[in-house]
Amino acid sequence: MQQHYVHDENIKHVIFDNDGTLYPEPPDVKDKHMQAAIATLKPRYPHKSNDDIRGLIKQSQKEYKSSFGMFVADIDGPAEQQEELLRLRALHYECLSHLAIKDFFDQSAAPTAEIGDLRIKGVNVHVATHGNKPWTDFSLNQNGGLARYFNDTNIFTKDEVPELAGKNEGSIFYDLLLNKMGIPPAEERRGKNCAMIDDQAKNLISAKNLGMMTVLIDPKMTDEDKPDYVDCVARNVKEAVAFINQSNHHHEIKASLPDKKAVNKGPGHDTI
């Protein structure tokens, strides 16, 4: 750990992305997602081969930036479209959970001790993910017992955002997340006491605009190559937490030092 970034405010909330952040995704994760997506759509196309359905999914990903966007496009009304999209996402993650039982989560990489240490220090922890709630609950249970630190009050998913807008689609995802965290909307740089940890750089742009400390999980990127909106680059989530602790420790030391003005003032002298 070489970086020595100090955020301008003490961090009171650490927000973790889930997939690829709280756990490193296995090499075959894209294949697993594709298998789950095919299984989700198979009842709709019982006479199509898996390869044909795979081709349709890839077309949807290309044209709609979503595995299932194309399959709800012909539904009248945005509310009805979102309802069906949520149903397909739920089926997809249910299928994925069946595929992720064996060797999907690296228990040795789980930041169980690091998150426990944050809580002991009085720092609040949250999950903000593009996955849905059942998958998030499942993965937290499977990943080093992290579920002990998270529940309905500090897990926020894309399913809670209108039109399923993600972290990289404007500020609405983060605005609603901060609302759930109880941070006043009118507060300037309302995310200034928060740190966001994610494995996708594009997901950190709006977080930085809100004043958050931003930490990117990327074992290949160097500090010199990072975008301006990324404060630190960490090899893994454990190192990311260490950067946050390092920044908070700086503020603790600063707060413990005597006030120079008070020391120089001396007894019997009022400040004009």
Residue identified by tokens 């950067």 is 243
Distance in angstroms (rounded) separating the CA atoms of residues 254 and 251: 5
| pLDDT attached to residue 270 | 43
Tokens encoding 57: 């999914």
3-state DSSP assignment of residue 65 = coil
Average pLDDT, the chain: 93
Q: Is 3 a residue whose pLDDT tops 60?
A: yes
| pLDDT attached to residue 16 | 98
Contact call for residues 131 and 94 (beta carbons, < 8 A): no
Which of 195, 196, 194, 199 has the alpha carbon at shortest distance from 235?
A: 199
Q: What value does the mean pLDDT take over residues 215-223?
A: 94
Q: What value does the mean pLDDT take over residues 94-109?
A: 93
| pLDDT attached to residue 260 | 58
- Within a 10 A sphere around the Cβ of 150, how many other Cβ atoms? 20
65's CB contacts (< 8 A; 6+ apart) are none
Q: Is 223 a residue whose pLDDT tops 90?
A: no
| pLDDT attached to residue 249 | 95
Q: Is 94 a residue whose pLDDT tops 50?
A: yes
- What architecture is domain 13-25+106-256? 3-Layer(aba) Sandwich (3.40)
Within 125-203, residue ranges assigned H as helices are 133-142, 172-181
Which of 243, 236, 207 has the alpha carbon at shortest distance from 110?
A: 236
What percent of the chain is modeled with pLDDT above 90? 88
Distance in angstroms (rounded) separating the CA atoms of residues 192 and 84: 37
| pLDDT attached to residue 103 | 87
| pLDDT attached to residue 271 | 38
CA of 200: how far to CAs of 16, 18, 79, 226, 239, in Å? 12, 11, 29, 12, 16
Distance in angstroms (rounded) separating the CA atoms of residues 83 and 72: 9
Q: Is 272 a residue whose pLDDT tops 60?
A: no
Q: Which residues pair with 16 in a beta bridge?
A: 127, 197
Q: Is 261 a residue whose pLDDT tops 70?
A: no
Contact call for residues 146 and 110 (beta carbons, < 8 A): yes
Which has the minimum average pLDDT: 40-44, 118-122, 131-135, 162-166?
A: 162-166
Q: Give this prediction's pTM.
A: 0.92
Q: Is 186 a residue whose pLDDT tops 90?
A: no
Distance in angstroms (rounded) separating the CA atoms of residues 186 and 191: 11
Distance in angstroms (rounded) separating the CA atoms of residues 23 and 251: 29
Q: What value does the mean pLDDT take over residues 128-140?
A: 97
- Within a 10 A sphere around the Cβ of 147, how many other Cβ atoms? 16
Domain boundaries, the chain: 13-25+106-256, 29-99
Tokens encoding 78: 């945005």
3-state DSSP assignment of residue 214 = strand
Q: How far apart are the first and last CA of the chain?
A: 46
